[in-house]
Amino acid sequence: MNIGILQAAGTDNTPEQFGNWQDVRDTFEAAGLYYGDSLRDRIEAVIDVLPWQDWDGLAADVKLAKEFMGATKLLTNSAKLNKGRSDGDDYRTIGLYMPPASSGRDMLRSIGLQVSDNYTLCPAATAGCALACLGTGSGHMNQGVERVASGQYDWDLSNVQRAQAKRLALFEAHRRAFYALLIKEVEAAERADRKAGRQLAVRPNCTSDIAWERQFPQLFGLFPDVIFYDYTKLHKRLLAPAFLPRNYTLTYSRADGSVNHDRAEQVLAAGGNVAVVFDTPRKGERGRNGTLKADAALPALFGGVPVIDADLDDARFLDPQGVIVGLRAKGLAKADLTGFVVHTCIAGIKDKVHADARVGCPGLSVITADQTIDAFIHGDQNLRQTIPSILRDAFKSTTTADQTIDVPDYLLYRKS
Ligand code: SF4
């Protein structure tokens, strides 16, 4: 990848972060810019809080970004993003896929950019989530367990990885051109969806965790009718909603580690939603009776909080508040044993061991080990086969219900 074209364009003097959402919102509202104006009108009216001198400056940066990106778009759609709601609402979602956490660091260095050793797009990533991340471990983005475990990523593996890398290179090499192209792509998508009678939703962190409300708050004001939404592990973003744009919805993302779990509790206590990944099988995976024709049911409760099935769609902005947003493990996450994925041991089995998994979540969980062990020992063979190998090995030496086995905290369950 040659970033010479960006360097030749001169200095990108866009500040790292500029303004806060409230300043930007006040500016936009004072200018009466919430509904109906053309993008150019909106841009020109608030040019003082944008990193361009005028409309022509933005247009020049769009041109520069397009020259660098070629056919690659910043915002794309995917089957997951485009799952619609069953209630007939017509949404279309596009999102930004970049190399997650620190996975793009060496690639940036290889094209001549200086980045620090602790460079990351996900400041609150955990060991487990980085290993299991969709951005390097699922679907077409799957780099394979060896690359992910060793940190030796290949950003030339396919068009998908090349596109992720190009977006990050533009973001780091010429932030202003990145913003310009982002604005143009959102505008084009919104225009197309308006014509088609659809509502546009944008997920700017499909595989990253950038606080966009601080990084580029102008985006939300320029597109007041577009819905923005994200998952995040930066809990403070949810605990200070006054600083969130009104058209930006966040869902906290549970991962491994007690720090994350404490934060998940805080978010729930504040009325926010927490996403939890379960080992519940998906359609096409082996369950109790062979291959499942439909996704197995997620637990009904987690830590006493109702679980909704977030694999039915990606429309997190329509979720009720104060719920667990349940997801099934995908890609490399299916092998997770860090505690990032909640092992429910209900794989494909209804009404046997209930769906209230109590795993490694202090405060969210009440662990009753006796019942757990009892459930496993008397559970049927198929149930046992779904248990991660660490637990299965423990069973080999266990013959009666009275025996206890040493089970790691994150693998404890309660039979209800
Ligand atoms: S914080 Fe999210 S996007 Fe970042 S590495 Fe973890 S799971 Fe992936």
pLDDT digits (tens, 9 = 90+) for 90-124: 888 999 999 999 999 999 999 999 999 999 999 99
pLDDT classification of 20: cutoffs 50, 70, 90: low
Return the structure tokens found at 238.
């949810």
Instruction: Name the residue at shortest CA distance from atom 8 of ligand 1.
Output: 133
Of the ranges 48-52, 246-250, 260-264, 406-410, which one carries the lowest mean pLDDT score? 406-410
Mean pLDDT comparison of 336-340, 380-384, 404-408, highest-scoring range: 336-340
Q: What is the pLDDT of residue 408?
A: 45
Q: What are phi and psi of 249, to 5 degrees?
A: -110, 130
Instruction: Decide: 222 in ligand 1 pocket, CB within 6 A.
Output: no
Whether the pLDDT of residue 385 is over 80: the answer is no
Q: How far is the CA of 121 from the centre of ligand 1 (A)?
A: 8
Q: For 361-378, how does the pLDDT look when each residue is reduced to its tens digit (9 = 90+)?
A: 222 222 233 334 444 444
- Where would I find the H helices in 70-204? 105-110, 127-132, 134-137, 145-150, 159-173, 175-195
Q: From 208, 254, 260, give the residue whose CB has the most ligand 1 atoms within 8 Å, as the site to mutate.
A: 208
Instruction: Decide: 100 in ligand 1 pocket, CB within 6 A.
Output: yes
**Amino acid letter, 189:** A
**Prediction pTM value:** 0.81
Alpha carbon 246 to chain centroid, angstroms? 20
Q: What is the pLDDT of residue 37?
A: 67
Instruction: Decide: 129 in ligand 1 pocket, CB within 6 A.
Output: yes
The pLDDT of 85-89, averaged and rounded, is 52
Q: How far is the CA of 136 from the centre of ligand 1 (A)?
A: 10
Which one, of 365, 235, 367, lies nearest residue 305 by Cα? 365
Element (H, E) at 264: helix 258-269
Instruction: Decide: 58 in ligand 1 pocket, CB within 6 A.
Output: no
Instruction: Name the residue at shortest CA distance from atom 5 of ligand 1.
Output: 130
Length of the chain: 416
pLDDT, greater one: 313 or 398 = 313
User: 348, 289 in Cβ contact below 8 A?
Assistant: yes
Whether the pLDDT of residue 76 is over 70: the answer is yes
Using the atom order of ligand 1, give the atom closest to the CA of residue 233.
Answer: 1
**Amino acid letter, 41:** D
Instruction: Decide: 101 in ligand 1 pocket, CB within 6 A.
Output: yes
Q: What is the pLDDT of residue 298?
A: 85
Of the ranges 28-37, 56-65, 376-385, 389-398, which one carries the lowest mean pLDDT score? 376-385
Q: How far is the CA of 282 from the centre of ligand 1 (A)?
A: 21
The pLDDT of 58-81, averaged and rounded, is 92
Q: Average pLDDT, whole number, for the chain?
A: 78
Q: How far apart are CA 185 and CA 306, in angstroms?
A: 37
Instruction: Decide: 180 in ligand 1 pocket, CB within 6 A.
Output: no
Instruction: Decide: 209 in ligand 1 pocket, CB within 6 A.
Output: yes
Among residues of the chain, what percentage have pLDDT more than 70? 72
Cβ burial, residue 272 (10 Å; 0-12/13-18/19+): buried
The pLDDT of 384-403, averaged and rounded, is 48
Return the structure tokens found at 305.
């909080």
Whether the pLDDT of residue 86 is over 70: the answer is no
Q: How far is the CA of 40 from the centre of ligand 1 (A)?
A: 35
Q: How far is the CA of 135 from the centre of ligand 1 (A)?
A: 8
Q: How far apart are CA 88 and CA 70, in angstroms?
A: 36
pLDDT classification of 208: cutoffs 50, 70, 90: very high
Q: How far is the CA of 129 from the centre of ligand 1 (A)?
A: 6
Instruction: Decide: 125 in ligand 1 pocket, CB within 6 A.
Output: yes
Instruction: Decide: 411 in ligand 1 pocket, CB within 6 A.
Output: no
